[in-house]
Amino acid sequence: MDVNTITSEKEEVVIKFAGDSGDGMQLTGGLFTDDTAISGSDLATFPDFPAEIRAPVGTMAGVSGFQLHFGSRRIFTPGDRCDVLVAMNAAALKVNLGQLQPGATIIANEDGFDAKNLRLAKYADGENPLDNRSLDAYQVIRLPVTKLTREALADLPLGTKEKDRCKNMFVLGLLLWRYNRRLDTTQRFLEVKFRKKPDLLSANQRVLQAGYHLGDTMEEFTTRYTVRPAALAKGTYRNIMGNDGIVLGLLTAARKAGLPLFYGSYPITPASSILHGLAKHKHFGVKTFQAEDEIAAICAAIGASYGGNIGVTGTSGPGVALKGEAMGLAVMLELPLVICNIQRGGPSTGLPTKTEQSDLMQALYGRNGECPMPVVAAASPSDCFETAFEAVRIAIRHMTPVMLLSDGYIANGAEPWRFPRSADIPAIEVSFARPTADGTPFQPYARDERRVRPWAIPGTPGLMHRVGGLEKEDVTGNISYDPANHEHMVRTRAAKVDCIADHIPEQAIQAGYEQGDLLILGWGSTYGVCQSVTLELAAQGYRVGHAHLRYLNPFPRNLEQLIRQFRSVLVPEINNGQLVSVLRDKFLLPVRQYNKIQGTPITVEELRACALDILGEQ
């Protein structure tokens, strides 16, 4: 390493890789993330894809980005603002400029700022941000990346198009140099990726090296940065995205219950990748069924559960709206079922590619009649695994449909995950009804102490019985119009769900103080920002605590008592205050709220400011 570069240390860094959909920014970001993970940093990432399938090349609509936040401290969010922006073209710069730290570094590909690109990015005629001093507040490194890439590959027998496709490697190499990494890990990935295409492999490796060496040779680069390993729990880690977490959670739960997994679904953004993920794992005995619509999908899942599989269906808000009637039947049938709702911006078709938490009320109340259903919510990509497992466990142990809430932000976000060893995961106990020894008639709606009815699978001799959506007599399951029985059944179905609270962990404070001035009470994808803000404020001596609800119905038994340990409660939500309504109803408790309904996550800045306001008032 050459002498006139110095090395300085950083606690955390946020890098945004941005370019045209075709520029391979997702891959670049992914590879840099893998190397970062291995370097021992904690990290979180979030991609932002264009809303259109393929927006026109060079336009702002076509910009694809990948944001990485890593550091030597615990990292919970992809970061509010970027320290480094890689801009492969003018549109990428324009779209992301707003997200930069003051003084941030911009690595710009000059070749992406020619007249055509500038016009497509809707810059005024003759205006080039790289020239017109509009970026003076930043440290701009302009490189003719395309040109340099072509030069590096001059002697290779590849078309210009293929050569240009390597230019992301140049940037990757440069960044690996900048953060004081070695190339070997990335080299290895490339070897795997291009196993079958040796010439592309060498091309990419060359460009990667070219970018890396540029660091050494170019005056501009005087400093390299190191980020120490974070204090992460020892163990084996992998990266995981939210929907993959659900896939693994469902597969694991089914395996641990010894039941075949059935997944019935109809594609919808951002839930589709659960279907894709499960379809890949047929050797785990998972049966995926792409139905003609959401209604058929949930009905098929119920049919599978009726047949002794664990039936699961997945969709997003508009699809859930269609499944309401069938969920009601599942509540009547008292069969296990998991409904995954990967929430997106609503109402109606809304903002399909954006994130939101606005389906909580629908999850709790979106059915006719008194129709109680347990609801659980995942807090992060890795938490999707445990929450999905929990959803299946509750569905089976309590013979009930369960709603699992996630959202687009969790689904597409990724984070390192210290995944469990299968041996350490508890089994889920399943007991199918067996013929009565003494030949006494089978009672399909007889209940155990949890008010759970037996699961009697068609094919079992002697247990023939009929189920359906009409009110039924308790114990016998016969149709009943008896007034008293109806009230009894309505209350029994409610009590059955309430009693789940006896079989879930009590709510814990997940950061900061156990009691004090402010409780930040969240659910779902606000987990990261709540953690960050709480740890930060607690470190500054504020008596702040953070509790994050996985169980939204029923609530953990100790929730009210835990809440009352604090002078104020702040509920941040990416909706108009839905959990707030539930808390007010349940506990007659005035809670403060922070609501952002912009299809984007709440930032640390925003939540911190809100928390400080409240603390200030006290």
Ligand X SMILES: Cc1ncc(C[n+]2csc(CCOP(=O)(O)OP(=O)(O)O)c2C)c(N)n1
Binding site for a second copy (CB under 8 A): 51, 316-318, 320-322, 324-325, 328-329, 331-332, 343, 345-354, 356, 358-359, 361-362, 364-371, 468-471, 481, 483-484, 486-487, 490-491, 493-494, 575-576, 581-582, 584-585, 588-590, 596-600
Contact segment (CB under 8 A) with another protein among 206-214, 218-226, 275-283, 556-564 equals: 275-283
Nearer to ligand SF4, 54 or 434 (CB): 54
311 binds another protein (CB under 8 A): yes
Of the candidate spans 135-143, 248-256, 314-322, 510-518, the one that interacts with ligand X by CB under 6 A turns out to be 314-322
Say how many residues touch ligand X, by CB under 6 A: 9
Nearer to ligand X, 52 or 216 (CB): 52
Binding characters for ligand X, 469-508, by CB under 6 A (x = yes) = ----------------------------------------
CB of 44 to a second copy, least distance (A): 20
Element (H, E) at 393: helix 383-397
Exposure letters 441-455 (e unless 16+ CB within 10 A, then b) = ebbbbebeeebbbbb
365 binds, among ligand SF4, another protein, a second copy, none (CB under 5 to 8 A by kind): a second copy
53: contact with ligand SF4 by CB under 6 A: yes
Q: Which is nearer to ligand SF4, 470 or 495 (CB)?
A: 470
Q: Cβ-closest residue to ligand SF4? A: 53
Residue 421 CB-density burial (10 A; 0-12 exposed, 13-18 middle, 19+ buried): exposed
Closest approach of Cβ 124 to ligand SF4, in Å? Answer: 30
Q: List the end-to-end C-alpha distance of the chain, in Å, as a whole number.
A: 55
CB of 141 or CB of 322, closer to a second copy: 322
CB of 585 to a second copy, least distance (A): 4
Determine, following the binding rule CB under 6 A, whether residue 484 of this chain makes contact with ligand SF4. no
CA distance 372 to 468: 17
Based on the shown chain and the rule CB under 6 A, indicate whether residue 54 belongs to the binding site for ligand SF4. Answer: yes
d(CA 315, CA 328): 17
CB of 54 to ligand SF4, least distance (A): 6
Nearer to ligand X, 93 or 301 (CB): 301
The closest alpha carbon to 391, from 298, 513, 504, belongs to 504
369 binds another protein (CB under 8 A): no
Reduced to 3 states (helix: H, G, I; strand: E, B; else coil), residue 358 is coil
Residue 447 tokens, joined: 């209940």
- What is the nearest approach in angstroms of ligand SF4 to the Cβ of residue 50? 12
| Gap between the Cα atoms of 452 and 337, Å rounded | 14
**Residue from 32, 170, 179, 266 in contact with another protein (CB under 8 A):** 266
- Distance in Å, CB of 20 to ligand SF4, minimum: 16
Shortest distance in whole angstroms from residue 68 CB to a second copy: 22
Q: Contact letters (x/-) for ligand X, 238-277, by CB under 6 A?
A: ----------------------------xxx---------
Which is closer to another protein, CB of 211 or CB of 328? 328
- The nearer residue to a second copy, 162 or 474, going by C-beta atoms, is 474
* Cα separation, 375 vs 185, whole angstroms: 42
CB contact burial 128-155 (16+ within 10 A = b; e otherwise): bbbeeeebeebebbbbebbebbbebbee
**From 297-305, 315-323, 404-412, 603-611, span contacting ligand X (CB under 6 A):** 315-323
Closer CB to ligand SF4, 50 or 308, in the complex: 50
Q: Are 83 and 14 in contact (CB under 8 A)?
A: yes
Least distance CB 301 / ligand X (angstroms) = 16
* Shortest distance (Å) from residue 327 CB to ligand X: 13
Burial class (CB in 10 A: 0-12, 13-18, 19+), 22: middle
Please choose which of ligand SF4, ligand X, a second copy, none residue 268 contacts, taking the beta carbon within 5 to 8 angstroms, the exact cut-off set by kind. ligand X
Number of C-alpha atoms within 13 angstroms, CB side, residue 35? 23
Min dist CB 483 to ligand SF4, Å, is: 25
| Three-class DSSP category at 325 | helix
Query: 184 or 292: whose CB is closer to ligand X?
Result: 292
Q: Which does 494 bind (CB under 5 to 8 A by kind): another protein, ligand SF4, a second copy, none?
A: a second copy
Of the residues 173, 319, 408, 416, which one makes contact with ligand X according to CB under 6 A: 319
56 binds ligand SF4 (CB under 6 A): no
Contact flag: residue 324 with ligand X (CB under 6 A): no
CA torsion 599-604-610-613 (nearest 10°) is -170
Binding to another protein (CB under 8 A) within 532-571 occurs at: none
Q: Which residues pair with 404 in a beta bridge?
A: 340, 376
Q: Please compute, for residue 333, the number of CA atoms within 13 A of its CA located in the half-sphere on the CB side.
A: 26
Helix (H, G, I), strand (E, B) or coil at 367: coil
**Nearest-angstrom CA–CA distance, 413 and 239:** 10
Sign for the CA dihedral angle at 187, 192, 194, 199 comes to positive
220 close to 141: Cβ distance less than 8 angstroms: yes
Residues 347-366 that bind ligand X (CB under 6 A): 349
58-70 b/e (C-beta count within 10 Å ≥ 16 → b)? bbbebbbbbbbbb
Q: Least CB distance from residue 248 to another protein, whole Å?
A: 6
Distance (Å, whole) CA 379 – CA 507:
14
Tally of residues, the chain: 618
Using CB distances below 5 to 8 A depending on partner kind, what does residue 238 bind out of ligand SF4, a second copy, ligand X, none?
none
The distance of Cα 459 from the centroid of its chain, to the nearest Å, equals 40
Minimum CB distance to ligand X smaller for 53 or for 423? 53
Among residues 133, 195, 196, 234, which is the contact residue for another protein, using CB under 8 A?
A: 234
User: For residues 374-404, b (16+ Cβ closer than 10 Å) or e, as one string?
Assistant: bbbbbbbbbbbbbbbbbbbbbbbbbbbbbbb
Which of a second copy, ligand SF4, ligand X, none lies near 40, with the C-beta cut-off 5 to 8 A by kind?
A: none
Nearest Cα residue to 216 out of 5, 362, 62, 518: 5
Question: Could you list the residues that contact ligand SF4 (CB under 6 A)?
Answer: 53-54
Q: Name the residues that contact ligand X, by CB under 6 A.
A: 266-268, 294, 318-319, 322, 325, 349
